[in-house]
Structure 1
């Protein structure tokens, strides 16, 4: 094994992320069972850079004594659409008001007032993202990256608290990004098992299976649970809400109330 490890190090090869069975070979003897991880899938850093989402799935051996292995090179993961967030520091940009006004005044297609408002807000969001990227270097993304880097360093120091290691780790940005890629690969959900014990590994099917599971878990009525009737609730809760208060609560808000709430909000 020592020679094997030296060979891997000299060849710049390492195990890729795996799922499925931990051991890949067995002697098939119930009285004196022996299990080993003999089969491996290896790759170098260049291969990882090309297939950042690669993983290997070791299936049950079946009628063989070795587990079969399938390597998934799928990199067509759908990008997650992030919601827009306005940051108050954007207003510090010297061209903030000019840029926002110019975006708001852009020509839009003819439509309803609500459609026009949505188009104007969309133009303003694009302008805010551009200001953030050009004027502040996308500071919130850099802050998230810095926090992620800090947490990764802290986790490694808890496992291997060496001063020299921590200094090298903190300065090596290339190694940091490689670690992040490996960390993401380890935490990705590659497949799920359905009710018929079939492996589902298509991204859309995995998502739908997860939704169906929780819908069946949380979306069914329990026939053994009987809710209280209105008469029973009145019998155990003698308090009655005043009718005039009820009228106020169910009434739609007035224009003055909406204006007051909006202008009472903090500037940020």
Structure 2
């Protein structure tokens, strides 16, 4: 492989250790040896990842459920040096029993997200209830959860606007 950055993504149909599987019969170390030996010889390791740790499931529930980390994004040290902020994002499965993977290579400085906070003082504002009522009116279609999430997002935007227009730098106004 030389001194070039390598990234290998896919369904390896193997786990690297017992922490990558729940349910079903236990896999002994021998089932992990081939993949671990391959990774060691090629100097590959799991790319930093987020969202789903277990990337495959038999789609059963309760005692019958089996889930494993079969899908991997493996990178060498040259990849990690060249793309220090890269990470694999394993999304929720949709049409497959495997999690789709998106690799972000980083490099783009993202705007810092400020967490949303609800301020009790908004509830005392004369137009607060009408703002909530207006934001809640629109039906987004889809599942009830999809509808709820979108209504909350819309309400969050309206409350941020209320904060910016009516309560921004309130400590300066009090003095």
Q: Normalization by structure 2: what TM-score? A: 0.48
The structure that is strand-richer by fraction is 2
Q: Rg bigger for which structure?
A: 1
Structure showing greater relative contact order (alpha-carbon pairs closer than 8 Å, 6 or more residues apart) = 2
